[in-house]
Structure 1
C-alpha cells in the first residue's frame, strides 16, 4: 500500500463489466476506451490473449478479461469495448463487456480479497470495494498483462 493510500487519500477508478460482474482499474492507467475491433491471432500466446490490433501504427496486444480471470472466453460483438491501459512497462488492450462509471474510493473503502481467492502475484486482484450496495473488484493493470512479453 502506498503512503497516500495509508493516509486515507482517495483514488479514482474506471468501472467496467465482464461476465455480469463489476470491476475497476485505476483511472491513471487508462489511456483510452475504444470500440471492439477484430484482432489478429498470434501463435504461442497465453489462452487469454485474443491477439493484436493496430493502434495508430503500434501493435497492441488485447487480453480477454473474462478469460484472464478464469471465467471463460468472451464472445465479442460490436457492443464490447477495449480499454487501453498502460502500467509503466507496457500498453495492453483489455476486452470488457462495457464501461460503467468513474468512482472515487478512499483506502478505507477497499477490503483485501477473501482468503479463498487465489491472490498470488499475478492474480490481478487488488481488493474489493462495497459501493452503494454493490461489490466492485479492483484490478491491478500490471498483473492483468502478466505473462505477456515486455
Structure 2
C-alpha cells in the first residue's frame, strides 16, 4: 500500500469544489433577479389608519379629517411664439421653464396623483417637450401623458 503524498489531491476536495459551483451560480442569479426587480422608491411614512380607543381611557374629541383634494388633469401647454416657447400650466401663462418647474413642484407638494398632460403645438421642437416631461417626472408626478388631437391622422 502506498503512502498518500501531500502533493497529490484526493478526489474528495474536487467533488466539493464542483458541487459548490452550481450553488454559487444560483445565488448570483437570485441576487441579480432581486436587484432588477427592486423598485428603489421611497417608502411612504404616512398611512391612513383608524386608531381604536383604549379601554378605560377618557373619551377623546373626534376630529374630522378632510378628504384629500381631488385634482383634475394638470395640462402643460407649450406654444412657439417668436422662436421661443411660451408655457401654460392649467391655462395659467408662465414665463419660462424654471417657472413651470416651480409651479409643478408646488402642486406636487399637495398631490402627485393628478395626471400631467403635455399638450405641445405641432411646431414646438422636441427639446422643449422633453424638458417639460423631465420637469413633471422630477417633480414627482407618476402619470405623464401626451394630449392627442383629433385633426392629424
- Structure with the greater relative contact order (CA < 8 A, sep ≥ 6): 1 or 2? 1
Q: If the TM-score is normalised by the length of the shorter chain, which range does it land in?
A: under 0.3
Larger Rg: 2
Instruction: Using structure 2 for the length normalisation, give the TM-score.
Output: 0.19
Q: Which one has the bigger strand percentage?
A: 1
Q: Which one has the bigger helix percentage?
A: 2
Instruction: Using structure 1 for the length normalisation, give the TM-score.
Output: 0.19
